[in-house]
C-alpha cells in the first residue's frame, strides 16, 4: 500500500510545509492565518458533504468505485497542487481559491483511501496505520529537504502515485468482507454514535488546542507548526513509532488510554518549550513534539473509527468521515480563537498573553485526559456480549432449568467483570450441583458435567476436561466459545486460536473477550485460577463421595 503512504506524505505537505504554503522566513502572517483557516474549513465541509453523498461513489461498481472516478480524483488533486504552486506569488484571492481546491481534492482522495482501508485492509490496524504514518512522515521530510525545483516535482507526482496505487489495489484485491453477512445483532444506532462521540471528544479538544496555539503564535509573528524547517515533520514519525508499539486491546480501553497519556506528555512538553518563547532549537523541538502529540490523538481516533466501522458495518459514513469533520472544525475554531485572544489582549504585553495561552492549553489537555468520556465496559466487549447472547437465545430455551438457574447466578448480568467473591460463589456452586442426593431420595441423573457439548473437540475424557466442560456449561458458553475455551485453557493465545480454527484474528479476540466476560475474569491467569478452583472443589466432592 505504498500509495496510501505517499498520500499521507502529500497530506502532511499540504497542511504544514512551505512547498504549498510559501516561505516562512519572512512571512505574511495575515495570509498564513487566512490560508490555514480556509484549508481547515474546506476539509471539514468536504468531509461533511462526503458523509451525505459518498456512498454513491463507493457503490458505483458494487465492490469498488469506478476507475474513472478514482482517476478523476487523482487528476483533480494533481491540478490543485499545480495551481497552488503556481499562485504562491499571486494576489490573495487567487491564493485562497487555490487553497479551497487543494482542500477539497485532498479530502476526496483521503476519503477514497480510508474506505479502501475499511473494505480490504488486513487486521492489526494500529501497526498498519503506524507504518503508514512513519513512511509518510519520512517521505514528507525528504521531499522538504530537496532543493527546489526538485521538491516541487516530487510533491506534484504524489497525487498521481497515490491514485495509481489505489486503482491497482481496488482492482486486484477483492474486499475481505464483501461476501460476509452483516452482524446478526448490532447495538442501537444511537449507542454507536454516542460511543463514537465519546471517543472523538478528546480528539476535538486536542485539535482545538493545536489550532489555538497556531493562531495565537502566528498572529504574534511566529510561524508555528508550519514546517519552515523539515525537522518538524519528524514529529509525525515519532507518533507512528509510539502507535506501533502500543498493544491492541479490543476488549479493554488500554490502547486508547495509552495514546492519551503519550499525547498529553508530548503536548505538555512542547507547550512548556513554547512558553520560553525561545527561538532556534527550543522552538523547533517544541513544534516537533506538539506535532507528534496531535498526530497521536488524531490518528488514534481515526484508527478506532475505522476499526469500529469494519466491525459493525453500520451502513453509515459517520464513524470515520464524521470524525474528520469534527477535527477540522475544531482546528479552524481554535485558530480563530487564538488570533482573537492575542489581538484583543496582547497590545500591552504580547508575551504575557502567550504565556496565558500556553497555560490554558495545558489545563484543557489535562482536564480532557482526566475526564471519563467512555463507559467502563469497552464497546467491543458490549458488542461481543450482545452477539453471543443473541446466538445463544435458542440454546437457552432447550437447556435444563437447573442449568439455566446456575448460569444466571454465575454469569455477571451487568456486563462488568465479576468480583472475586462472585467467582468463588460460582466455583462453590459447581461441586454443589454434582453432590450426591440424600439417601432417602432417588439419585438424580448426572448433571451436564458428563455430557459433551457440540463445541468440544472429541478427546479422551480426563478430570481436567470434565472440569472445563463443567465450567463451560455452568457459565453457558456457546459451542464455539466452548471450543475456544478448551484451547485457551491450555495457555494458547489468540493467534493460535485464529490459525487452529481458520478464523480472523478479530473474531478470535472477540470470542476470547466474550469468554472472559462470561467467566468474570480479566486475564488468562485469572481464568486458569478459576479452573484450578473448580478442580479442587471437584476433587473434594469426589473424596466425600
The three state secondary structure string of 508-526 is HHHHHHHHHHHHCCCCHHH
Half-sphere exposure of residue 517: CA atoms within 13 angstroms, side-chain side: 28
Question: CA-to-CA distance for 310 and 516, rounded, in angstroms?
Answer: 23
Residue 134 to residue 241: CA distance in whole angstroms: 7
Write down the pLDDT at residue 346.
62
pLDDT tens digits in sequence order for the chain, 545 residues long: 788 999 999 999 999 888 898 876 655 677 888 999 999 999 999 999 988 887 776 665 555 678 888 899 999 999 999 999 999 888 888 999 999 999 999 999 998 888 887 766 555 677 888 899 999 999 999 999 898 889 999 999 999 999 999 988 877 655 444 334 444 445 566 666 676 677 678 888 889 999 999 998 888 878 887 777 888 899 999 999 998 888 776 555 567 778 878 888 998 898 888 877 556 678 888 889 999 988 888 887 787 777 777 666 555 566 778 888 989 999 999 999 999 988 887 655 677 888 888 899 999 988 887 776 554 444 555 555 454 444 444 444 434 433 433 343 333 333 333 434 444 444 444 433 333 334 344 433 433 443 444 444 445 567 778 888 888 888 888 888 888 988 888 888 888 888 788 787 878 888 888 898 888 887 888 888 888 888 777 777 776 66
Q: At what angle do helices 150-172 and 2-16 cross, to 10 degrees?
A: 140
The alpha-carbon radius of gyration of the chain (Å, integer) is 28
Phi, psi of 61 (to 5 degrees): -130, 40
- Say which DSSP state 252 is in: S
Nearest to 116 by CA among 49, 60, 58, 73: 58
Going from the N-terminus, what domains does the chain have, and what CATH number goes with each? 2-174+187-374 (1.20.1250.20), 381-544 (no CATH)
Strand partners of residue 61: 64
User: What was the pLDDT predicted at 368?
Assistant: 82
Q: Comparing C-alpha atoms, which of 188, 198, 200, 194 is closest to residue 312?
A: 188
Output the pLDDT for position 414.
35
Q: Mutual orientation of helices 281-312 and 234-244 as an angle, nearest 10°?
A: 40
pLDDT value, residue 452? 44
Q: Report d(CA 327, CA 197) in Å as an integer.
A: 12
Q: Give kind and range of the element (H or E) at residue 201.
A: helix 189-219
pTM greater than 0.75 (yes/no): no
Q: DSSP label at 320?
A: I
pLDDT, residue 99, reads 94
What are the cell numbers at 415? Answer: 456486563
Can you tell me the distance from the alpha carbon of 95 to that of 400, in angstroms, rounded to the nearest whole number?
75
Helix/strand/coil (H/E/C) assignment for every residue in 259-283: HHHHHHHHHHHHHHHHHCCCCCHHH
Are 50 and 321 within 8 A, CB to CB? yes
- pLDDT given for residue 538 in this prediction: 73
**By the 8 A CB rule, do 232 and 24 touch?**
no
Q: Distance between CA 310 and CA 187 in Å, rounded?
A: 14
pLDDT at 392: 45
Residue 62, helix vs strand vs coil: coil
Amino acid at each position: 500500500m505504498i500509495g496510501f503512504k505517499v498520500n499521507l506524505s502529500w497530506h502532511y505537505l499540504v497542511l504544514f510545509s512551505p512547498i504549498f504554503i510559501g516561505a516562512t522566513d519572512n512571512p505574511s502572517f495575515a495570509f498564513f492565518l487566512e490560508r490555514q483557516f480556509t484549508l481547515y474549513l474546506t476539509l471539514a465541509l468536504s468531509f461533511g458533504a462526503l458523509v451525505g453523498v459518498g456512498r454513491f461513489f463507493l457503490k458505483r461498481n458494487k465492490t469498488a468505485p469506478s476507475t474513472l472516478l478514482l482517476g478523476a480524483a487523482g487528476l483533480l488533486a494533481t491540478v490543485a497542487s499545480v495551481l497552488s504552486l503556481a499562485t504562491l506569488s499571486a494576489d490573495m484571492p487567487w491564493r485562497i481559491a487555490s487553497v479551497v481546491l487543494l482542500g477539497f481534492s485532498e479530502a476526496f482522495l483521503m476519503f477514497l483511501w480510508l474506505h479502501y482501508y475499511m473494505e480490504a485492509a488486513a487486521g492489526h490496524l494500529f501497526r498498519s496505520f503506524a507504518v503508514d504514518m512513519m513512511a509518510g512522515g519520512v517521505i514528507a521530510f525528504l521531499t522538504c529537504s530537496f532543493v527546489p525545483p526538485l521538491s516541487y516535482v516530487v510533491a506534484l507526482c504524489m497525487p498521481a502515485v497515490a491514485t495509481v496505487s489505489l486503482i491497482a489495489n481496488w482492482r486486484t484485491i477483492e474486499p475481505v468482507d464483501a461476501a460476509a453477512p452483516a452482524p446478526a445483532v448490532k447495538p442501537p444506532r444511537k449507542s454507536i454514535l454516542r460511543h463514537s462521540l465519546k471517543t472523538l471528544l478528546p480528539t476535538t479538544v486536542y485539535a482545538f488546542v493545536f489550532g489555538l496555539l497556531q493562531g495565537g503564535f502566528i498572529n504574534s509573528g511566529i510561524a508555528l507548526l508550519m514546517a519552515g524547517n523539515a525537522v518538524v515533520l519528524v514529529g509525525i514519525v515519532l507518533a507512528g513509532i509510539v502507535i506501533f508499539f502500543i498493544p491492541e486491546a479490543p476488549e479493554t480501553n488500554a490502547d486508547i488510554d495509552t495514546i492519551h497519556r503519550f499525547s498529553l506528555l508530548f503536548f505538555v512538553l512542547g507547550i512548556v518549550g513554547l512558553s520560553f518563547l525561545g527561538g532556534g532549537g527550543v522552538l523547533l523541538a517544541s513544534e516537533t513534539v506538539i506535532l507528534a502529540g496531535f498526530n497521536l490523538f488524531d490518528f488514534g481516533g481515526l484508527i478506532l473509527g475505522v476499526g469500529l466501522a469494519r466491525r459493525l458495518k453500520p451502513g453509515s459514513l459517520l464513524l470515520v468521515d464524521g470524525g474528520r469533520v469534527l477535527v477540522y472544525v475544531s482546528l479552524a475554531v481554535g485558530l480563530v480563537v487564538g488570533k482573537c485572544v492575542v489581538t484583543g489582549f496582547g497590545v500591552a504585553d504580547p508575551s504575557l498573553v502567550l504565556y496565558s495561552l500556553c497555560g490554558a492549553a495545558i489545563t484543557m489537555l489535562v482536564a480532557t485526559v482526566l475526564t471519563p468520556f467512555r463507559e467502563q465496559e469497552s464497546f467491543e466487549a458490549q458488542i461481543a456480549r450482545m452477539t453471543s447472547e443473541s446466538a445463544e437465545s435458542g440454546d437457552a430455551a432447550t437447556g435444563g432449568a437447573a442449568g439455566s438457574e446456575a448460569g444466571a447466578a454465575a454469569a455477571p448480568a451487568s456486563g462488568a467483570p465479576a468480583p472475586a467473591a462472585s467467582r468463588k460463589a460460582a466455583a462453590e456452586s459447581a461441586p454443589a450441583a454434582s453432590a450426591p442426593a440424600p439417601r432417602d431420595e432417588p439419585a438424580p441423573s448426572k448433571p451436564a458435567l458428563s455430557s459433551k457439548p457440540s463445541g468440544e473437540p472429541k478427546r479422551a475424557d480426563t478430570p481436567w476436561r470434565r472440569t472445563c466442560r463443567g465450567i463451560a456449561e455452568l457459565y453457558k458458553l456457546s459451542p464455539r466459545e466452548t471450543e475456544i475455551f478448551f484451547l485457551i485453557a491450555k495457555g494458547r493465545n489468540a493467534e493460535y486460536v485464529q490459525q487452529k480454527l481458520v478464523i480472523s484474528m478479530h473474531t478470535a479476540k472477540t470470542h476470547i473477550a466474550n469468554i472472559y466476560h462470561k467467566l468474570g475474569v480479566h486475564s488468562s491467569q485469572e481464568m486458569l485460577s478459576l479452573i484450578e478452583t473448580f478442580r479442587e472443589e471437584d476433587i473434594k466432592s469426589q473424596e466425600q463421595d
